[in-house]
């Protein structure tokens, strides 16, 4: 059978199981099994071999059981990176690319301010180097995107999941990014241990996090691809979805440089609550940024004045 006909039949098969955007997913699966991009499939319309058909059928059956498409393919594209994913690690979302975009803009502006402030000085110290911390790093997608954007920075990612940390380390190798350190542990705990052994370290110019923020009682209402497959610990933000923000915000003051930034991805309807939490510890220049759907998705705050 030729590829175009097989994509059509695969799309019809997935539609019967309630898969959203079944045609596009059929194209992804066929392209992956044939190791060609979508354009080449339509241009060349190659014949599918018996071996390719066996793999394709197996993938379609897995998808019909609502296993996430990116677990089946084994990777997701994120901000120009190829991020390996599988069971036990959260799949990066498109809205998290907005978090990275805003973080890059913020750090670029921060570096410019520091340069202008220190203009004429040739003194470089460990404290003037750029340090970034990503809490709840998961697959490492945010950590790696920032490390690639700022190759002169030291970028750290922490996560409680050993599975996630292993994926993050592998993704660093896959993408050839070396200025990262992934540490297993709860939020700031691995950083506190580093400071114990290396007192000259570590304060950060940016602390960023896309923490679990789903209300616990809402998890059961999520799509099967999420609630039945993705790790619940990467989704569960506590009874009101705000548990991680309550822990991170007051602690962040102990690890940020003066004039450093704290950034979060937010769940729907959480902006006002998290903003109030940030106001209490004395952060300034609090900014809320909407995503492409008009949802207040990103919060940024500065510690003191640079």
- pLDDT of residue 95 exceeding 80, the answer is yes
Report the candidate in 240, 244, 242, 220 with the shortest Cα–Cα distance to residue 232.
220
Q: What is the pTM of this model?
A: 0.90
Residue 304: pLDDT band (50, 70, 90) is confident
Write the pLDDT tens digit of every residue in 181-204.
999 999 999 999 888 776 656 789
What the chain holds in terms of domains, given with CATH numbers, is 3-65 (1.10.8.10), 94-302 (3.40.50.150)
Q: Return the closest-CA partner of residue 226 out of 20, 5, 83, 77.
A: 20
pLDDT at 198: 67
Question: Which residues is 2 bridged to in the sheet?
Answer: 47
> Residue 221 corresponds to which tokens in the numbers above?
């209402």
Token couple for 91: 């799949």
Cα distances (Å, whole numbers) of residue 143 to 22, 44, 92, 96, 130: 31, 38, 12, 12, 14
Which residue matches tokens 């902006």?
271
Per residue in 29-49, pLDDT tens?
Answer: 999 999 988 888 898 899 999
Give per-residue pLDDT as tens, 54-92. 999 999 999 999 999 999 999 999 999 999 999 999 999
**pLDDT at residue 121 tops 50:** no
- CA dist., res. 277 & res. 50, Å (int): 58
């Amino acid at each position: 059978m030729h590829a175009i006909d097989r994509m059509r039949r695969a799309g019809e098969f997935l539609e019967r199981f309630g898969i959203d955007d079944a045609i596009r997913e059929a194209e992804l699966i066929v392209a992956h099994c044939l190791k060609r991009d979508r354009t080449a499939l339509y241009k060349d319309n190659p014949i599918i071999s018996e071996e390719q058909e066996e793999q394709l059928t197996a993938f379609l059956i897995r998808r019909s059981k609502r296993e996430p498409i990116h677990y089946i393919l084994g990777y997701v594209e994120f901000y120009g990176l190829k991020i390996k994913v599988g069971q036990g690690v959260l799949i990066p979302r498109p809205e998290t690319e907005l978090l990275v975009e805003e973080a890059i803009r913020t750090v670029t502006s921060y570096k410019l301010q520091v340069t202008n402030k220190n203009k004429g000085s040739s003194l470089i110290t460990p404290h003037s180097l750029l340090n970034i911390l990503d809490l709840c790093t998961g697959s490492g997608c945010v950590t790696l995107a920032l490390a690639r954007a700022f190759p002169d920075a030291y970028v750290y990612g922490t996560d409680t999941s050993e599975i996630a940390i292993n994926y993050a380390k592998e993704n660093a190798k896959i993408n050839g990014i070396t200025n990262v350190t992934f540490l297993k542990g709860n939020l700031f705990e691995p950083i506190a241990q580093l400071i114990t052994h290396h007192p000259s370290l570590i304060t950060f110019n940016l602390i960023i996090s896309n923490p679990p923020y789903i209300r616990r009682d809402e998890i059961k209402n999520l799509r099967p691809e999420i609630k039945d497959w993705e790790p619940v610990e990467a989704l569960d933000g506590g009874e009101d979805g705000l548990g991680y923000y309550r822990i991170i915000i007051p602690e962040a003051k102990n690890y940020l440089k003066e004039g450093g930034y704290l950034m979060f991805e937010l769940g729907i309807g959480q902006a006002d609550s998290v903003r109030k939490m940030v106001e209490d510890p004395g952060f300034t220049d609090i900014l809320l940024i909407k995503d492409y759907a008009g949802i207040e998705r990103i919060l940024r705050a500065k510690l003191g004045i640079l």
